[in-house]
Amino acid sequence: MRIYPNDDRLVIFDADGTTIDAFHAVERSFQRHGMALGHLERFQKRRKLFKYLGGLREFPNNLRRQFGKQNRTRLLSTLTEFYRHEACLYPGIDSLLRTLLATPNVRVGVVTRNVTFEPQETLTCLFRRHGIDSREFDFFTCLPLREDKTLHFRRIREHFAINPARAYACGDEYSDYRAAIGAAMRPFVVAYGAEDRQRLTNVFSVPEECILSSPEEFCSCLLHTLNLPIPGTPEKG
């Protein structure tokens, strides 16, 4: 049996769709270029390849306007500016992050495949607007879009010598769940981001117990897991 040198806990956050309301950021950016994303419910049910091309109603116009390097560059520039100056964290996430960052023996950070230009600077601006100094994170890793998170999760856990049973990874897609399991970590999967509860359970067989339906439920569940006070509930006597 391996003996770990500390009692630290580890929490890895995904950015888009878990902490950040990415859908409305993309939706508003699309609108500024004459495109439509469709309703969140339809977006969540689409296969990954078609997420940002829209459904049958939006697909032809979106494909035409995204085709070509210059069009994609303009769209990404708009998305980057929106993230930096207007995009929001989900309700309660700012308070959750401040609580975890202030808690001794909890290692906290972000592993993301955010697609904006200079994503670390982009997300630093966004967190700063919500009163979060990203320099306080123990790690802040931005990955290429198609890169798997599993190896990075494992490296972070091993770097801090965290017992796998005390390590948690939070995301909004099946790939996040798979990466957490692959790194011997405990998964939290939210169903308000890229994929809904029905798709997570019926298509990918993610256990119901791992899925959180709202930002409020996610924050409360994570705080309870870490034995931290949950706002609005009586303190334990």
- Which pLDDT tens digit goes with each residue over 196-215? 999 999 999 999 999 999 99
Range of the domain at 64: 22-85
Q: In the predicted model, what is the mean pLDDT of the chain?
A: 90
Q: Is the dihedral of CA 158, 161, 165, 170 positive or negative?
A: negative
Summarised one tens digit per residue, pLDDT across range 7-64 is: 999 999 999 999 999 999 988 988 888 877 778 887 788 666 445 544 445 434 554 5
pLDDT at residue 55, rounded to an integer: 46
Query: Is residue 5 packed enough to be buried (19+ CB in 10 Å), middle (13-18) or exposed (0-12)?
Result: exposed
Kindly tell me the burial class for residue 78, based on how many C-beta atoms sit within 10 Å of its own C-beta (0-12, 13-18, 19 or more). middle
Rounded CA gap, 34 and 30, in Å?
Answer: 6
The reply to whether 17 and 101 lie within a common domain is: yes
* Torsion angle of C-alpha atoms 20, 179, 219, 115, degrees rounded to 10: 0
The answer to whether residue 176 is domain-embedded is: yes
- Do 60 and 95 fall within a single domain? no
Mean pLDDT of 157-186: 98
Position of tokens 């210059």?
70
- The reply to whether 171 and 130 lie within a common domain is yes
Mean pLDDT of 96-107: 98
- pLDDT at position 150 over 60: yes
Note whether residue 143 is domain-resident.
yes
Please state, in angstroms and rounded to a whole number, the distance separating the CA atoms of residues 83 and 77.
Answer: 10
The reported pTM is 0.90
Q: What's the number of domains the chain is made of?
A: 2
- Distance between CA 34 and CA 38 in Å, rounded? 13
Mean pLDDT score, 101-111: 98
Same domain, 202 and 104: yes
Structure letter (DSSP) for residue 203: I
Residue 154: φ, ψ to 5°: -65, -40
Rounded mean pLDDT of 102-119? 97
At residue 237, the pLDDT reads 54
- Residue 55 resides in a domain: yes
CB 40, CB 26: distance < 8 Å: no
Lowest-confidence pick of 52-61, 134-143, 164-173: 52-61
The HSE-up count of residue 47 (CA atoms within 13 Å, CB side) is 2
Instruction: Examine the domain organization and report whether 92 and 169 are in the same domain.
Output: yes
Instruction: Note whether 118 and 183 are same-domain residues.
Output: yes
Mean pLDDT of 105-128: 97
pLDDT at 36: 77
